[in-house]
Amino acid sequence: MAGMRVIAVTGSNGSGKDVLAEHLARRCDTPVFSLGDAVREIAEEEGVDRTRENL
């Protein structure tokens, strides 16, 4: 993992996090990992309603 770079993008709803992350991914030729997507996937697997309150 030497030389591995992690860039974290945080912000409020609708602040453009996804747009920035996709731009950086293209520019740096690196994948995007969305914590929100991972949480929603786990919630679905566990049968938890995917509401804002639950997630």
User: Which pTM does this prediction carry?
Assistant: 0.67
pLDDT score recorded for residue 50: 83
* pLDDT tier, 1 (very low <50, low <70, confident <90, very high otherwise): low
Domain ranges across the chain? 1-55
Q: How would you class 30 by CB atoms within 10 Å of its CB: exposed for 0-12, middle for 13-18, buried for 19 or more?
A: middle
**9 has pLDDT over 90:** yes
- What integer best gives the mean pLDDT of the chain? 90
- pLDDT the model gives residue 4: 80
**What is the rounded CA–CA span in Å between residue 43 and residue 52?**
12
